[in-house]
Homo-oligomer: A and B are copies of this chain.
Amino acid sequence: MILPHQRTYKERALKQVNPAAILLLETMERKKSNLAVSVDVTKTKDFLAIIDVVGPFVCLIKTHIDILEDFDLNVIHQLQDLSKKHDFVIFEDRKFADIGNTVALQYSSGVHKIASWSHITNAHPVPGPSVITGLSSAGLPLGRGLLLLAEMSTKGTLTTGVYTEEAVRMARARRDFVIGFIAQHRMEGVGLAPGEKADEDEDFLILTPGVGLEAKGDSMGQQYRTPKEVILDSGCDVMIVGRGIYGTDPSLTDTIAARAKKYMEEGWEAYCQRVLCP
């Protein structure tokens, strides 16, 4: 049996039903990039500058819009312009984790209006299926897609065992909206009862943070793996890199572009080995 990650991104795009999943896979194929950059800065000027520099090398930009001190809706318009200019998907990493009614409001309302501009967002499965119900009520009519956090890469995380299995079961029940997972590994077979089989066309995308060219960690409990470990060895689909690319000085545009290019090339090389690119 051929597993989803042994097929090309292009083939997989043809079998997806969710518009955000299709958009992401087609973008990856078109740009030959499985690199996502997580832009975790607090000033709009730096935020937009970094995105403009790494834009050519990424399939996806991951945001924490709620850390921008000088946020207004104009930032979103500029982000959307950059998304068109450089052809990337937008993923607001909000990690929704409340009851259905609350997440529906947090997703669609407030000053950030995430559902109106972010192609993809994510949620912790911890509240149970109602978190998906709530988010889908706002996101599905807009063609958005949801990732569930099936695993985290921090020390002492509780996303293990039954927790991860339940996340996958919740996703299987809502394949119209849940397009994949934030995880460290592929999830095929996870959470299936003995003798139970997943649908033949089940194909969840795996987006993986905690990626660095050299494996190491930080003082806040984050741990790192290399692009080859993530894409080739673990079969993940998108690798998410943050400070490893843009460092601490957004004005060093040549350095940032060179790093993004290197990650992109390493990630694509690992993918090509995985699917046996011609």
Query: Residues of A with Cβ closer than 8 Å to B?
Result: 40, 42, 64-69, 71, 93, 95, 97-102, 104-106, 109-112, 124-131, 133-134, 149, 152-159, 162-163, 166-167, 170, 218, 220-222
Choice from B99, B162, B163, B166 contacting A220 with Cβ under 8 Å: B99
Are A221 and B40 in touch, CB under 8 angstroms? Answer: no
Q: Closest CB of chain B to A181's CB: distance in Å?
A: 14
- State the CA gap A101–B274 with chains docked (Å): 33
Question: Which chain B positions have C-beta within 8 A of A42?
Answer: 105, 109-110
Are A126 and B129 in touch, CB under 8 angstroms? Answer: no
Choice from B98, B99, B124, B221 contacting A130 with Cβ under 8 Å: B221
Are A97 and B97 in touch, CB under 8 angstroms? Answer: yes
Please, which residue of chain B has its CB at the minimum distance from the CB of A133? B220
Chain B CB within 10 A, most for which of A125, A163, A220: A220
- State the CA gap A124–B131 with chains docked (Å): 14
Are B126 and A158 in touch, CB under 8 angstroms? Answer: yes
Beyond contacts A100-B221, A130-B222: 15 other A-B pairs, Cβ-Cβ < 8 A, are A65-B110, A66-B112, A67-B109, A68-B110, A95-B97, A97-B124, A99-B220, A124-B124, A127-B154, A128-B156, A128-B157, A128-B221, A130-B156, A130-B220, A163-B163
Please, which residue of chain B has its CB at the minimum distance from the CB of A111? B71
- State the CA gap A158–B132 with chains docked (Å): 14
Choice from B64, B71, B104, B130 contacting A105 with Cβ under 8 Å: B64
Choice from B67, B102, B126, B134 contacting A124 with Cβ under 8 Å: B126
With A64-B105, A100-B222, A101-B220 already in contact, the answer to whether A128 and B69 are too (CB < 8 A) is no
Are A102 and B40 in touch, CB under 8 angstroms? Answer: yes
- State the CA gap A136–B104 with chains docked (Å): 28
Question: Which chain B positions have C-beta within 8 A of A152?
Answer: 99, 126-128
Q: Closest CB of chain B to A115's CB: distance in Å?
A: 12
Chain B CB within 10 A, most for which of A66, A69, A100: A66
Q: Closest CB of chain B to A100's CB: distance in Å?
A: 3
Are A158 and B154 in touch, CB under 8 angstroms? Answer: no
Question: Which chain B positions have C-beta within 8 A of A100?
Answer: 154, 220-222
- State the CA gap A54–B135 with chains docked (Å): 30
- State the CA gap A220–B135 with chains docked (Å): 11
Please, which residue of chain B has its CB at the minimum distance from the CB of A163? B158
Chain B CB within 10 A, most for which of A71, A99, A167: A99
Are A71 and B220 in touch, CB under 8 angstroms? Answer: no
